[in-house]
A and B are shown apart, each in its own frame.
Chain A
Amino acid sequence: MIDALAAEWLKIRTVRSTLIVLVVLAVFVGLMALLAWYAAAAWDAMTPEQRSHMAVSDLPPLAEWVASLALAVLGVLTITGEYGTGMIRTTFAAMPTRGAVLTAKAGVVAAVAYVTGLAAVVATFSVTRLIMGGRPIPGQSPEPLSDRLPLFLAMAFSITMFALLGLFLGAITRSAAGSIAILVAVWHLVPIVVSHLPAPWDERIGSLMPAALAGQLAGVGNPDSVYGSLLPPLVALAVMAAYVAVPYGLAALRLNRGDA
């Protein structure tokens, strides 16, 4: 297993898509910094009357969305890239225990997703906070990093969940386009449909949506969103685990049954 992990780590480090994902995230943090700078400049030029009409939404959740999608795509490419080129046969000839290969890939993708996801969220928070300073712009919470860290750690869990979901969907469908379409659907389209369900089902099912779990895990819920907030933290964690475990099982089954 250690050999498989080390080999998969070498693989993920040596393809361009990993670098692209990291650059995309870095650029996004830069854009957030630009937005914060613009908001601060605008704020300074406003009259108190104008200031009462201004609002800037909380920025770390935006970073979470972008990181979720970017790392989910990385997860997808980690396996569909191998099916697409036929390299999967080289991989399975070198490591015939397919379940171990899948687990090693999952370990590597999870580590990359958690670390870069957390970095993207915390960097967005820190940089934008630094730029906006102590300006009491509506929508910006005045809490220090230490108070918001539980939410950021939960967001990194959620980003990791999406990355693994991408990897396992890639293993099941063997198609990058198909996997990404499914991901976008469960990430955003299905929650929007669910939010239009008659009460109380919008809230009940909305609480189970993958992107609804980070807020519930951190205990802050999902204010101002299409998502519900009914789950206690531990249940949210269990649902998150299920979103990873069930696709993992299906992917392992698919790999072990079929021809490479």
Chain B
Amino acid sequence: MWSVIEVNELTKRYGSAVAVDDLTFHVKPGQVTGFLGPNGAGKSTTMRVILGLDRPTSGQALVNGRRYAEMRRPMREVGALLDAGTVHGGRTALDHLRWLARSNRIGKDRVVSLLELVGLAGVARKRIRTFSLGMKQRLGIAAALLGDPDVLLFDEPVNGLDPDGVRWIRELMRGLAAEGRTVLLSSHLMSEMERTADHLVIIGRGRLIADTSVRELVGRFQRGVLVRSPRAGELAEALTTRGATVVTEPDGRLTVTGLDAVEIGDLAAGRAIPVHEVTPHTASLEDTYLRLTAETTAYASSPERTAR
């Protein structure tokens, strides 16, 4: 599968502060790629560089093999929601979409149908200043979809949305990816990504921490299978001969890695060893993510103070 968004050895410094540090990752079509990292990790900066808004210090970002700044009518190729505040509050929702559409030669009928799609048709003639954050997010999503682009970038789109809105976004993203589009979705919340993304790019302090599918990530941090048996010693020996690594816990239970629960159960049954418990011990993605990014959190709260 080819890559639609390519970020190659990208570095961005603001003065002496390094926002993005030699970052390389590729985004493929037909799936939702989650772009994860703690606050200040460089997600928004990376997205701004992809959109040609910020100039990279070195390296480059390409969409469909080209720099964004070279596109003549970019909204037909790439749709982006940066932050919902990047609008003029005095304009109405309808007028905002109208000038955007006009700038890329997109028909007026698209404006109307998108206002309906995002549920803002009723407030189309109200000033954006009067909108809630959730309504502004919906307007931003309408703007991103205006040119019917094949590539979509969303920076923290669920901020400010109510549970219905969050679900709506999730289904929208999944639907867009299912149509074969490329969706890059940033968030600092793993719980959100777990349900939406197929692939994850995790960064911390501007550096790549992981570029992996959601399933692989779960697998990588699997902490084995917990097994309880009255004949633990015998079972441990049998498991070790089959290539598993076995650790005997202080309470007599075994933590087995290298074999899954099914294989362990079958093996025990074959040797007629009774087994009282077989529990696959999966680290939650949330835990995994926190562990991955713990060392790179830019604004960590100090434990001494929060403990009180």
Contacts and interface: CB of A to CB of B under 8 A. Distances in A.
B242 to A, nearest CB: 56
Interface string B79-116: 01011011111111001001110111100000000000
B143 interface: yes
A10 B94 CA distance: 11
B54 interface: yes
Contacts of A14: 91-92, 95, 98-99
A39 interface: no
Interface residues of B, number: 33
Contact of A94 (B54, B85, B91, B100): B100
Given A14-B91, A14-B99, A85 B48 contact: no
Contacts of A186: none
A81 B52 contact: no
Nearest to B53: A260
Interface stretch (B68-76, B228-236, B244-252, B284-292): B68-76
B143 A260 contact: no
A10 B99 contact: yes
Contact of A10 (B48, B53, B85, B98): B98
A86 B85 contact: yes
A4 B88 contact: no
Contacts of B88: 11, 15, 81-82, 85, 87
Contact of A87 (B53, B80, B86, B104): B86
B102 A3 contact: yes
B82 A89 contact: yes
Nearest to A14: B95
B51 interface: yes
Interface residues of A, number: 29
B55 A259 contact: yes
Contact of B102 (A6, A16, A85, A97): A6
Contacts, number: 85
Contacts of B82: 89-90, 93
Nearest to A90: B86
Contacts of B71: 96
Contacts of B105: 3
A217 B294 CA distance: 69
Interface in B13-72: 48, 51-55, 68-71
A7 B87 contact: no
Interface in A39-97: 81-82, 85-90, 92-97
A81 B48 CA distance: 20
Contacts of B98: 10, 14
A96 B69 contact: yes
Contacts of B102: 3, 6-7, 10
B170 to A, nearest CB: 24
Nearest to A4: B103
Given A7-B99, A11-B99, A85 B54 contact: no
B11 to A, nearest CB: 14
Residue among A11, A90, A92 having the largest count of chain B Cβ atoms under 10 Å: A90
A105 B33 CA distance: 37
A97 B70 CA distance: 8
A6 B101 CA distance: 10
Interface in A8-28: 8, 10-11, 14-17
A1 to B, nearest CB: 11
Given A14-B91, A86-B83, A92 B52 contact: yes
Nearest to A11: B99
B77 to A, nearest CB: 11
A260 B54 contact: yes
Interface in B118-163: 143
Given A86-B86, A96-B52, A96-B70, 17 more contacts: A3-B73, A3-B105, A6-B102, A7-B99, A11-B91, A14-B91, A15-B88, A15-B90, A82-B88, A87-B88, A89-B48, A89-B82, A90-B82, A93-B53, A93-B82, A96-B69, A260-B53
**Would you list the 10 A-B pairs with minimal beta carbon distance, nearest first?**
A7-B103, A14-B95, A10-B99, A259-B54, A86-B86, A260-B53, A96-B69, A90-B86, A94-B103, A7-B102
